[in-house]
Amino acid sequence: MATSSQGKELLLKSLLVLTALLMAAPLADAADLEAGRAKVATVCAACHGAAGVSVSDTIPNLAAQRAGYIEAQLKALKEGTRKNPIMNAIAAQLSAEDIANVAAFFATQPGAAAAAKSAFLPNLAKSGVTFPESYKTTFTKYHTINFPATKQVRYYYANGAALQAAKGDQPLPNGSVLFAEVYSAKLDADKKPLTGGDGFFVPDQLLFYTAMAREAGWGKDIPEMLRNEDWNYAAFSTAKEQRPVNQAECFACHKPLDKTSFTFTLKQLTDVAKTK
């Protein structure tokens, strides 16, 4: 049986919990769930699903997550104190009201069943980019990058439209195509990548290809918060077949690069173009 002092302590704790709940209630009521639903449908759903069940095993479900937690994480991503290239770009475009509304909406959704996944949004799963069959003879190789984390080396190529624009210090226009071959690196006995005399990893097996290209109208169905003008992105197997890609991740990663034609390698492309 509880003593008188224990009873008072329990009563005090109960009052503190009740007070905290009452203080939190106005915050939840202040959020606009319908505005949150609308924002999720146009942006967040691309990766986290329209109801908070993600499209991929590598992306967290947000359904039934506590609103306070989601709001805190979005604020940290917006301010840059939490680092994630994709989410930093998206959160930076959200207002404090957007963050509160999105967090409240996800918190009201039922949790995901085991192994449940949402489908890609159709306009983000479909890419206009096709495999450039003649790239070896008509494109210019302009850059090589080592990727130590994945033990890969990538070779970058650009078509004539991109090369000419870069040569004139102009934004890359519609008709531009940037293409990359992705190879695994040869490994030594300690499973470390071998490096050639040029400082780059020695290529072993071709793994896949990636590409970004732009044509008029390709961006019209992409939400503004994700859109990279008219750029689309794609990945291809070694058999040159297009692989399923959630372009939302590509768009978000390239979104901050609007001053460099949404391209990470524009400087390298320009340097090579001016030698031609």
Handedness of CA 44, 75, 64, 25 (dihedral sign): negative
pLDDT for 21-60, tens place per residue? 434 444 445 789 999 999 999 899 999 999 999 999 889 9
For 68-91, write each residue's pLDDT tens digit.
999 999 999 999 999 999 999 999
Cα 213 to Cα 93: distance, rounded to the nearest angstrom: 25
Question: How high is the pLDDT of residue 23?
Answer: 42
Q: Is the pLDDT of residue 10 over 80?
A: no
Mean pLDDT check: name the lowest of 115-129, 137-151, 156-170, 199-213.
115-129
Question: Could you tell me the CA-to-CA distances from 174 to 192, 207, 232, 272 in Å, in that order?
Answer: 40, 28, 11, 20
For 100-155, the pLDDT digits (tens) are: 999 999 999 998 887 788 988 888 989 999 999 999 999 999 999 999 999 999 99
Chain mean pLDDT for the chain? 90
pLDDT at res. 156: 98
Question: Taking the CB of residue 19, how many other CB atoms lie within 10 A of it?
Answer: 10
And the tokens for 121?
């949004």
Sign of CA dihedral 158, 269, 173, 253: positive
In the chain, what are the domains? 31-119 (1.10.760.10), 125-273 (3.50.70.20)
What are φ and ψ of residue 103, in 5° steps?
-60, -45
Confidence of residue 6 (pLDDT cuts 50, 70, 90): low
Residue partners of 122: CB distance under 8 A and separation at least 6: none
Strand partners, 233: 212
pLDDT band at 4 (very low <50, low <70, confident <90, very high): low
